[in-house]
Amino acid sequence: MSSNEEPKTTDVTEDAHGASPAHSPSPEKSGGGAYLFLSFIVGLALSMVVGWAVFPKVLYSKKSQPVDFSHKLHLEQVDNGCESCHFFREDGTFSGAPKLEQCIGCHEEVMGESENEAVFVEQYVAKEREVPWLVYARQPDCVFFSHAAHVYGAKLACETCHGNIGASDTLKPYEQNRITGYSRDIWGHSISGFKRNTWDRMKMDDCAECHETAGIHDSSVQTGRDACFVCHK
Amino acid sequence: MKHAQTQHRPKRYGMVIDLDKCTGCGACMVACFSENNVPFKADESDKRLSITWMKVYKVTNGESFPNADVCYFPRPCQHCAGQHEGHSPCVSVCPATATDYSKETGIVSQIYTRCFGCRYCMGACPYHARYFNWWDPVWPKGMEQYLSPNVSPRMRGIVEKCSFCFHRYQLARNKAFKEGHREVKENEYQTACTQACPAGAITFGDLNNPDHKVHQLAQPDVHHGYKAKNPLAFRLLERLGTNTKVYYMSSREWVRKAGDNYLADENPGEHVQEPSGH
Amino acid sequence: MKLSRRCFLSLVVGGAAGTALTPLPWKITDDLSIWSQNWPWTPVPPDGAGSYVASTCTLCPGGCGISVRKIDDRAVKIEGAAGHPLNDGGVCMLGLSGLQLLYSPTRIQSPLKRVGERGQGQWQTITWKQAIGEVAGKLGDIRQQGKPEALACIAPKDTGTVARLMDRLMAAYGSPNFFRTPSVEDAYEAVLYLTQGVVGHVGLDVENADFILSFGSALLDGYGSPVRMFRANSRLKEMHGTVVQIEPRLSNTAAKADRWLPLKPGTEADLALAMAHVIIARNAADRGFLEGQTQGFAAFMRMVQERYTPQSVAARTGIKANVIEEVAMKFAAAKRPLAICGRGKGQVPGSLKEALAVHALNALVGNINATGGVTAFSAYDYIDWADVVTDEVAAKGRQTPRLDGAGSDKYPNARYLLNHLADAADNIQALLVAESNPCYALPDTRGIKAAFDKIPFVVSFSSFMDETAMNADIILPNHVYLERFEDVPVTFGAGYPTVGLCRPVVEPLYHTQHLGDTIIQVAKALKGSVGASFPWPDYKTCLKQSLGDKWDILKQKGVWVDASANPGIETASGKIVLMDDTLGAVYTADEVPAPGDAATYPLVLVPYDSIRLSSRYIGDPPFMVKTVSDRIVKGHDGFVEINPETAAKLSLADGQMATLTTPVGEARVRVNLDNGIMPDVVAMPRGLGHTAYDEFLAGKGVNVNQLVGSVDDPASGLDAAWGIRAKLA
C-alpha cells in the first residue's frame, strides 16, 4: 500500500474502488466499503446462482428414453400390479426393466395410433432388438440390492423407493451425471440432497437411514450399523 | 418395525478342510478365480503379485528321500473373529471402514470402492490372504464376456480377498425370501471352492449350527475361543488368537504341527490322540 | 468502472462464501469420489436372467458332467454336474477353465488357408464353401491317382459319432490309415483281447475297491476319468481302505497314498511279477477263481517262480524283498483289491508286458469281471450304420497294409501306432488332424514335426491356433465343446460303459463349423461312392438317428450308463488266459530300457503329469497357468526336479540355470531341489513349453516331449517310453 505512505504527494485517486488514504475521512471511504460490500454481495449472489441454478443444469445431461411409455396405461391393463412386468424370477432375483419377450404378447402388431407404439413395434419388436431403456434407479456395480428382501421380506411397497411411477403418463427425461455417469435419481432431484419423500433419493445414506429406523441388524463391527456386505458386492 | 433377523441366532460361517483328502489339485483356486472375476496377467509366476483368494500351499516335512512327505494347505481368507467378535487383525486396522466384520454371519467383508489402498490390512493379516491390485485388471479381448455380474470386478490400487462367496449367500437369501422361508439352508449357501472340490475335502457351513456338518467335524469349543474339540482338527497359527473360522483336519501329526510355529522341544499334540486305522 | 484489487478480492470472497452456501462443493466432491471408484475401463458385467445348461466336458477323455451357469446369453461359470455318475458335482481345474477357451482370443474364427511358408503363421480367411472345396479337391486328386491309402487321419478316439464319421470317410475313401492318438487304452485293449478275447474297453471299479495298487498311475493327477478317481480316493480315506503308489517320485498320488513305493523307473513289470510270485508262493491266490476261470495258471506260476523271486527283482526295482512280500500279501488279503497301470495320466501306452503283469495280479486275486475289480466291456455298439458304399478304388486301398505296421505280422497286438508316423509319412500325401495336437503332445516332437514336413497336405480341424494348426495348410475350425452337440463315450476310467451328451451352451461365436458337418460336407463334395456313404443331410440328423432311443434319454438326463453291461470272457475256452505261447513271448521279453548310454547320460529323465497342466489337445487356459508353482515355471524358465543329493554331486544349486541334455534334445532349465525324487532321476512335467497360443501360455517352461523319444515295445510296437537318459550341467 505504497499510496498510503505518501498521502501528501498523491492525489486522491480517481478510482472509486481504490484504497483511500488512511487519514482522510473522505466520503470515498464509506463508499469504498459499500463497494467492497457490494462486490461481496455480487460474488455471493453470482455463486449462489451458479451453485443452485446453473450447476445442476451443467452437471446433468438430459437424454430421452428410446420410446415413451405410459406406466399408467399399462397398470390399468394388467392384473398383478407392478409385478406383472417387473417380476421376480424363480431364483428370487428381480427382472427389472422388462424384456421384449414380455411385451411381445400384446405388441406383436401395432396397437392404437401412438407414434411411440409404431416406433416400438417397428424398431424393436419387428427387429427383435431389446429396447435400451435408461434405468433411473440403476445403482453402481458395487451395490447389491435385493428386491426380494424388501418386497417379500420387509413387505415394502414399490412406491417406497420408486415413488408412484405407476401413475405417470410419460417417461421423464433421463438425467445423467456427467462426472459419475449415474442417473440423477440416485442423488435425488434436489441438488441440495434435500428429500421430502422416501423415494426422493437413493444414496447409501438413504438405505442406511431406513435400515437404522427399521432396526435391521446392527452387526457391523466398524459402524455399529448394518454390515457392509449386506448391500455391497 | 423390528425385523425378524435380529432375533435369529447369529451365524458363524466357516470351513473345515480335510487335508487327508485334499490332493493339491487346485480346483478350488480356479473355481474361485472363475466365480469371483479374479484377474490374471501374462506372468503369474511372481506369487507375491499373483491374486489368489484361495491359494493352495505345498508344505513338506523336510525329510530326505524316501521319507519326504508333502501336504497341501488350501488357504482362503480365514475370517478371523479375534479375541472378541470382530477383532480381526485386518478390520481393526482399516482406516477407511473398507473391511468390516459382520456379527450376523461372521464374514469379513471387503468393499472395493471404499478401499483406498493403504494396505495396512495386508500387513496385519497373518495369513497373506489379502492381495493388492498393482495393476488394473485387463481381460484379453472377448474374455470379459464370462465375467459374473454377482461380483464387482476390482480396479487398480485396492485390496481384495476371499469373501466366502458372500454373493452366493445374498443370492440364496433372495431365493429364501421369495419362497417365504427366511433361513438359508446348509446346501443353499456353499462357496465355489467347496462345490468344486473333486475330492470332497472342503466342508462349509454354519459353525454355530449343530446340524451343520462343519460343526460336527470341527466341534468348536465356545468356551475356549472356538478351539476344535476334534483332536484331528486345528487352525492355522491358532496361538495368535486370531480365532479363525477355517479348520483343518489331518491324521498326520507333522501336518498338524505345520499349522503353527512351535519350539523344537514343544509338542503341540499332547492332548491329541494318534488316530487309529492308518 | 474499473475493478480494483480489493473489490475483486471481495468478489472472490463473496463468491467463495456463496459457493459454500450451495451444494456445489459437496456435490462435486461426492461425484468425483464416485468417479474415482468407477474407472470407465473397469468392466461392469451386465446382469440378467440366470440359468444353467447341463452338458458334458470334452476337454479330457474323462467325460465329466458339467453345469454351465449363464446370465442371459453369456456363459459365466462352469460347475460340476451334481448327481452325475462319474463326477457328482466335482470338477477339475481344466473343466472349470473352459470358458477361457470358449472366449479365448486364440480361437480360430473362420476357415483359414496358409499363405507363405508353413509355420510362419500367415493365413488368408476363406469361406466354408472354399474350404470344403479345397479339401475335397485335394483328396479327389489323390484318389484319382489311385492312391487312396495315402490319406491319413489322426483323431483322439475311435468311438462316438464324430470319430466314427472320420473313420467312415477313410473307409469310403479307401484308406486303412486312421490313427487314434496313443494312450494306455492301447495297452489295456491288447491285454483284454489277449487274455479275455474281448474287443472293447476296460472298466476299473475304483468305487468299490478297498485296496488300489497303482503302478505309477496318477490317480490324483488326471488318470482315467479324473474326478471319479479323486472321489474314489476320498472314499477310500473315509473307509480306511488302502492306496499303494509305485513310482520314483513323490507325486500328489504318492503323497496321499497310504504307502509309497519308490521304485526304479521302468521296472514296474518286474515288481508286478514278483508280487505275483509272492501271492502264489504264499498260497494267497484265489484258487477257486484260478481253477474255474483261468487257463495257463501252471505255466504262469512256473514263469514267475523261475524268473521273478522278490530277491531277484529287489535290486533291479530298488524295493526290498520283504517290502515286496508285505505289500503283495496285503494286496492279496484285501477284500476287493485292484491293480492298475498306465503311468501318469496314461498318455503313453507303455509296455504290453507291464500291462499283462498287472492284469495277472488282478486275476490271481480273482478280481476280474468282479465288483471292485477290472472288467472287460465290449466296444460301444450303439452306432449301427449301413456299410460304406465301396467302389474299386476304395476296395483296393483298404486292402493295403497300414502304413504304421499295426496289425501286421510284426505288430499283431496293436491297432494304431501313431508313434510310427515318421516312417509312415513318406507315403502320406494328405493328413487330417482332429481334436489333437501331435506336434506338441506326442513324444519326440522333433520327429513328429519332421514327419509333418514330409506330408504335402495337412488339414487341421482345430478350434485353436495350436502347434499342429500352425503346421497345417488349411484349417477348418470346429466349434468348441460349449457350442456343439456330440455324444461322448467314456472309454477309459469309467466303471461301466458310459455315454455323455455334450450340448451347446451358447450359440457359436464365430464362423466355425461342427467337425461332423465338415466331414459330411467333404464326403459329399467327393461325390460318388464316398458321398453316397454319407446319407445324412447334416451331423445333428446323423447323431439323432445313430443314438435312436438313447437320444431322448441323453437329452433328458445328459448321460447314459449301461450298468447292465455284461463283462465278458470271449476266449475259445471261455476262460481267462494267464499264459499261452503269445503271452509267454511277451513275458520273456526284456524290459524296455531308457534310450541313451549311461556313461554319457548318468541321469534318467522321466516326464510326469500334473492335473494343473493340460498336456493333450487342449492348451492350458490362463487360470491354470496361474496356479502353476513358481518351482515349476518362473517367468519363462521351466524347472527340472532333482534330488538334492544328486544335485550336490553335480554341483548344482537350487534355482540355478543348467542345460539338460538327452539323446534327442536339450533345453535350458532351472534346478529345483526336491526331496521327493529318487536320486539320479530327474523329472519334468508335461504340458509346458508351448510355442503356439498367446502370451499367457506360449514360451513358458520346456516341452518335455522335445527331450524324450519314443521307444517301441518289442511285443506290441506301442510306444513304451517311460523316460530317457539325460545329463544336467
**Tens-place pLDDT, residues A203-226:** 999 999 999 888 887 789 888 888
Q: Please, which residues bridge with residue C698 across strands?
A: C690
Which residue among B30, B40, B60 places its CB closest to the CB of C675? B60
Res B4: pLDDT: 42
Chain A residue with the nearest C-alpha to that of B7: A217
For testing contact with chain C, the best of A35, A179, A202 (most C CBs within 10 A): A179
Contact state of C4 with A59 under an 8 Å Cβ cutoff: no
For testing contact with chain B, the best of A180, A205, A228, A231 (most B CBs within 10 A): A228
Alpha-carbon distances of C54 from B106, B160, B187, C32, C69, rounded to whole Å: 34, 32, 20, 45, 9
Q: How does pLDDT run across B45-80, given as a tens digit for each residue?
A: 999 999 999 999 999 999 999 999 999 999 999 999
Which is it for the CA torsion B87, B91, B97, B101, positive or negative?
negative
End-to-end CA distance of chain C: 91
pLDDT bracket for residue A20 (50, 70, 90): very low
Give the minimum alpha-carbon distance from A99 to chain B in angstroms, rounded to a whole number.
Answer: 18
Q: How does pLDDT run across C599-637, given as a tens digit for each residue?
A: 999 999 999 999 999 999 999 999 999 999 999 999 999
Burial class (CB in 10 A: 0-12, 13-18, 19+), C190: buried
The whole-angstrom separation of Cα A49 and Cα A56 is 11
Contact state of A39 with C32 under an 8 Å Cβ cutoff: no
> Pick the residue with more confidence: A226 or B277?
A226
Lowest mean pLDDT across A173-187, C460-474, C561-575: C561-575
Contact state of C6 with A17 under an 8 Å Cβ cutoff: yes
Which residue among A45, A51, A93 places its CB closest to the CB of C24? A51
Whether B186 and chain A come into contact, CB under 8 Å, resolves to no
What cell does C408 get?
501286421
Contact state of A146 with B170 under an 8 Å Cβ cutoff: yes
Contact state of C627 with B56 under an 8 Å Cβ cutoff: yes
User: SS3 for chain B, per residue?
Assistant: CCCHHHHCCCCCEEEEEECCCCCCCCHHHHHHHHHCCCCCCCCCCCHHHCCCCCEEEEEECCCCCCCCCEEEEEECCCCCCCCCCCCCHHHHHCCCCCEEEECCCCCEEECCCCCCCCCHHHHHCCCCCCEECCCCCCCCCCHHHHCCCCCCCCCCCCEECCCCCHHHHHHHHHHHHHCCCCCCCHHHCCCHHHHHCCCCCEEEEECCCCCCHHHHHHCEEHHHCCEECCCCEECCCHHHCCCCCEEEECCCHHHHHHCCCCCCCCCCCCCCCCCCCC
How many CB pairs (< 8 A) connect B and C?
Answer: 197
Listed in sequence order, the residues at least 6 apart from C521 whose beta carbon sits closer than 8 Å to its beta carbon are: C128, C132
| Chain A residues within 8 A of C2 when measuring between CB atoms | 15, 17
Which residue among A15, A17, A43 places its CB closest to the CB of C14? A43
Amino acid at C473: D
Helix (H) or strand (E) holding C670: strand C665-673
Res C50: pLDDT: 96
Chain C residues at the A interface, defined by Cβ less than 8 Å, are 1-4, 6-8, 10-19, 21-24, 26-28, 30-32, 34-35, 37-38, 40, 44-45, 47, 49-50
Res A110: pLDDT: 86
Res A175: pLDDT: 96
B175 pLDDT more than 60 = yes
pLDDT bracket for residue A9 (50, 70, 90): very low
A111 pLDDT more than 90 = no
Res B268: pLDDT: 61
A28 pLDDT more than 90 = no
Model pTM score: 0.93
Chain B residue with the nearest C-alpha to that of C240: B277
| Chain B residues within 8 A of C74 when measuring between CB atoms | 145-146
A193 pLDDT more than 70 = yes
Contact state of C14 with A41 under an 8 Å Cβ cutoff: yes
pLDDT bracket for residue B265 (50, 70, 90): confident
The whole-angstrom separation of Cα C443 and Cα C437 is 11
Res B275: pLDDT: 44
Res C355: pLDDT: 97
Contact state of C623 with B141 under an 8 Å Cβ cutoff: no
| Chain B residues within 8 A of C91 when measuring between CB atoms | 27, 31, 196, 198
Res A32: pLDDT: 74
For testing contact with chain C, the best of A61, A101, A145, A180 (most C CBs within 10 A): A180
| Chain C residues within 8 A of B18 when measuring between CB atoms | 237
The whole-angstrom separation of Cα C556 and Cα C588 is 51
Res C221: pLDDT: 96
Per DSSP, the three-state class of C80 is strand
Contact state of C4 with A45 under an 8 Å Cβ cutoff: no
Q: How does pLDDT run across B76-130, given as a tens digit for each residue?
A: 999 999 998 889 999 999 999 999 999 999 999 999 999 999 999 999 999 999 9
Mean confidence (pLDDT) of chain A: 85
What is the arithmetic mean of pLDDT over C345-372?
96
What is the arithmetic mean of pLDDT over A177-202?
92
Which residue among A214, A216, A221 places its CB closest to the CB of B91? A221
Give the minimum alpha-carbon distance from A137 to chain B in angstroms, rounded to a whole number.
Answer: 17
| Chain B residues within 8 A of A146 when measuring between CB atoms | 170, 173-174, 177
Contact state of C50 with A181 under an 8 Å Cβ cutoff: no
pLDDT bracket for residue C356 (50, 70, 90): very high
Res A192: pLDDT: 87
What is the arithmetic mean of pLDDT over A180-188?
93
| Chain A residues within 8 A of C50 when measuring between CB atoms | 89, 91, 93
Name chain C's partners: 3 or more CB pairs within 8 A.
Answer: A, B
Contact state of B105 with A229 under an 8 Å Cβ cutoff: yes
C2 pLDDT more than 60 = yes
How many CB pairs (< 8 A) connect A and B?
Answer: 119
Which residue among A214, A216, A233 places its CB closest to the CB of B152? A233
Contact state of A229 with B107 under an 8 Å Cβ cutoff: yes
Chain B residue with the nearest C-alpha to that of A153: B177
Listed in sequence order, the residues at least 6 apart from A9 whose beta carbon sits closer than 8 Å to its beta carbon are: none
The whole-angstrom separation of Cα C282 and Cα C278 is 6
pLDDT bracket for residue B270 (50, 70, 90): low
Lowest mean pLDDT across C36-50, C171-185, C470-484: C36-50
Which residue among C1, C6, C24 places its CB closest to the CB of A36? C6
Contact state of C2 with A36 under an 8 Å Cβ cutoff: no
For testing contact with chain A, the best of C5, C10, C37 (most A CBs within 10 A): C10
| Chain C residues within 8 A of B36 when measuring between CB atoms | none
What is the arithmetic mean of pLDDT over C17-24?
92
Mean confidence (pLDDT) of chain C: 95
| Chain C residues within 8 A of A32 when measuring between CB atoms | 6
The whole-angstrom separation of Cα B30 and Cα C623 is 6
Alpha-carbon distances of C83 from B147, C86, C89, C94, C209, rounded to whole Å: 26, 9, 7, 20, 21
Give the minimum alpha-carbon distance from B108 to chain A in angstroms, rounded to a whole number.
Answer: 9
Contact state of A215 with B1 under an 8 Å Cβ cutoff: yes
Whether A152 and chain B come into contact, CB under 8 Å, resolves to yes
| Chain A residues within 8 A of B179 when measuring between CB atoms | 92
Q: How does pLDDT run across A194-205, given as a tens digit for each residue?
A: 899 999 999 999
Q: How does pLDDT run across C104-155, given as a tens digit for each residue?
A: 999 999 999 999 999 899 999 999 999 999 999 999 999 999 999 999 999 9
Per DSSP, the three-state class of C668 is strand
Whether A133 and chain C come into contact, CB under 8 Å, resolves to no
What is the arithmetic mean of pLDDT over B209-221?
96
Cβ-contact C615, C687 below 8 angstroms: yes
C236 pLDDT more than 70 = yes
Res A31: pLDDT: 61
| Chain C residues within 8 A of B31 when measuring between CB atoms | 91, 96
Whether A229 and chain B come into contact, CB under 8 Å, resolves to yes
Mean confidence (pLDDT) of chain B: 92
